[in-house]
A and B are shown apart, each in its own frame.
Chain A
Amino acid sequence: MRKPRVRRATVAAATVVGLAAVVSTGCGSDSGSGSGSDGGVTTLTFAASTFGDPGRGPQLQEWIDEFNASQDEIRVEAASVPYPTFGQTVLTQMGGGEGPDLVRFDMPEFEAASDAGLIAPLDDLIDVSEYDLLEQPDQFMVHDDVRHGIIFEASNYAMFYNADLIPEPPTTYDAFFETAQALTSGDVFGLAFRQTEAEEAGVWQDIFNYVYGFGGAWSDGENLTINSPENLEGLQAYKDLYDANVIPRGADAATFRRMFAEGKVAMELNNGGYATHLRAESPDLNFNVAPIPFPERSQGAILAPIVINEASSAKDEAATFIQWALEPENQVSLQEILGASSVATATERTPESLQELPFLPTFDELTDSSLPQIVLGFEAQTPDIRKIVVQNVIAALQGTVDLQTALDTAQEQATELVG
């Protein structure tokens, strides 16, 4: 039986109708993205993963509202991007010539974005000499004499412990290990850290403290040193804790942090941002903070710069917001919201803050020994190196391979990657 042949005219007509439908629906899109101007008011979008935090998000929104109240021609709106995919989503948007006008990045994504030319240089937009910027964290905002960001939040890592379970915090790794072992019983665990590939960025943040705390480093600035003896020692300490079953294996950060709040986890290494969240969510929890008890006083820090999107059509207005944020009174307000984190400039802790969070000086004293969780000398490739290292370390945790071999493999793969 002969099949009927479709007429070309029919196909052409259907194609035209289809395309017309697509174009007409496209023209009816709801709104554009990024900055916009309406009635002389320029609206900027500001993306920060912290806007979604139950503790700090609403307060940050109030802080932005203060800026909006102070301006007649500029309005800042929070762009909602979920934390788990924040970097990937915003980088994709910026790479496509779109995205928010202002972004609060974490360091690995900040480095990748600045390397790709997605961030506007700030030198001609903001005169930083007017502000007393904290030198240690601020040095990472400048690449080849070009400033790409201003510190929005700098949060040092320290040891959080349940003061009801641990009257005196351990001061050495051996004591740390013994405390974790002694307190692990039934549904209570002595320690918690991230150990699954699903939390790649989190595992990287956690193992960073072990590597640097045992005198190691991911690089010497020119070459990768992933499999150095110091790194092996630090990561062996991390693995020993995993093998000792003193952590709730398989629990993600959200789960074990709730367990900490419920008194089911005795210790965890975390950054200052956590303190405010913990106090807000669990006001009755008796917790305290001490430096991480590893051989070297060197730990990670969450550095979160605020940057201006190179694709933004309202860079001057975005710079106005950053300048407003750098004003001393607004820095203090921001500091109060962020709690144990630091901001771009040196600020005085208020007596109220010190009363509520008496361990704030502990965090502040760690600023000089804290480092952003990037691979120095290979900043832009940090996300890729991170992936390689985390994959191999987790393989070692799971017993697929011994730790030395895992680090050797990571070294080889990462060296091949960076060329």
Chain B
Amino acid sequence: MNRLHIGLTLRIVAVLAVMGIAVFPLYWMFVTALSSDADLFASEARLWPDFSQFGVFVDALAEGETVRWLRNSLVIAVGTTAMSIGLGIPLGYALSRFSFRGKVLTTVVLLLTQMLPEALMVVPLFSLFNRFDLLDSLIGLILANSAFVLPIVALILKGAIDGIPRELEEAGRVDGARPLTMLVRINVPLIAPSIAAAAVIAFFHAWNEFVFAVTFIYAPETQPASVGIASFIGEVGTPVQTVMAVAFMFTLPAVAFYLFAQKYVVAGMTAGAVKG
């Protein structure tokens, strides 16, 4: 009994420690946002938030910029996720199930795109976007982000589809199902956890993306939050508490999306685990 208790306690401590490591940066942002100037540079760090400073959040939201930045980020992240998943599923399926000339080359090229830093692509993409009138546009950013994240999404989904027994599709084919039907009715439900995981990657990539956003967007109305937060860093001063307050708010939608997607990851992993 005692041994059981010790084991349970150790496990709880381990879980709390891991949670602490993961959550601490978020908590520290919150505490810093709610610190006075004197607390920020005191010899002993303040570990608890000072809620009398809560006005920093109110002020950040009152000006309207923060809400607009977050809305733009949300549009970009949701758009990128939808586009990369929408195109990644058929691409992953094609790479997994069909044989065509240049298949290996296509896979290698997809992998190679992941080795190019974004900064390398800024100038040529800028030129291209300028020609197609995609600058200063949320749609342009969705396309740019999707182009970067699509290969990894497609490769994740290809791997997931590889793991589905072909016999399931053979059975569908016997019943007269076409490839598209087999993809939608058979494969997609079975790779739902991988789709959720890929969606998290795509969403986070677009949510955090900075290099394209800062270069391709001019108008304050179309700036996402990643650029907006950076705009607080001035030549001679930076309002640390405001930066932390906005950064804290910036993390919340991403965390919410992760929790939402995680539900599907877990649901997919446990689906079919219990046979009747």
Contacts and interface: CB of A to CB of B under 8 A. Distances in A.
Contacts of A89: 214-215
Nearest to A261: B37
Contacts of A34: 218
B100 A6 contact: yes
Contacts of A9: none
Interface in A85-99: 85, 89, 92-93, 95-99
B98 A54 contact: no
Contacts of A45: 218
A52 B232 contact: yes
B239 interface: yes
A84 interface: yes
Nearest to A96: B126
Contacts of A33: 135-136, 218-219
A29 B98 CA distance: 36
Interface in B28-87: 37-38, 40-43, 87
Interface string A1-42: 101111000010010001000110111111111100000000
Nearest to B139: A25
B135 A32 contact: yes
Contacts of A258: 37, 40-41, 237-238, 240
A277 B236 contact: yes
Contacts of B123: 92, 95-96
A264 interface: yes
A281 B235 CA distance: 14
Given A3-B97, A92-B122, A92-B123, A98 B135 contact: yes
Interface in A46-101: 49-50, 52-55, 57, 78-85, 89, 92-93, 95-100
Given A30-B136, A254-B237, A82 B230 contact: yes
Interface stretch (B10-18, B190-198, B220-228, B268-276): B220-228
B116 to A, nearest CB: 17
Contact of A52 (B87, B122, B233): B233
Contacts of B219: 30-31, 33, 79-80
Interface residues of B, number: 50
A270 B236 CA distance: 9
A195 to B, nearest CB: 18
B202 to A, nearest CB: 17
A254 B240 contact: yes
B235 A30 contact: no
A26 B133 CA distance: 7
A33 B236 CA distance: 28
B144 to A, nearest CB: 11
A98 to B, nearest CB: 5
A81 B136 contact: no
A255 B94 CA distance: 52
B271 to A, nearest CB: 26
Contacts of A270: 236
Given A4-B98, A31-B219, A84 B143 contact: no
Interface string A181-210: 000001100000000000000000000000
Interface in A283-318: none
Nearest to A79: B218
B43 A187 contact: yes
Interface in A304-347: none
A260 to B, nearest CB: 10
A140 interface: no
Given A82-B214, A96-B127, A100-B218, A49 B136 contact: no
Given A23-B132, A187-B41, A273 B235 contact: yes
A6 B231 contact: no
Pairs of residues from A and B, 3 with the lowest C-beta to C-beta distance, nearest first = A29-B137, A254-B238, A82-B230
Given A26-B139, A30-B138, 8 more contacts: A4-B98, A5-B98, A31-B219, A92-B122, A96-B123, A254-B240, A258-B37, A273-B235
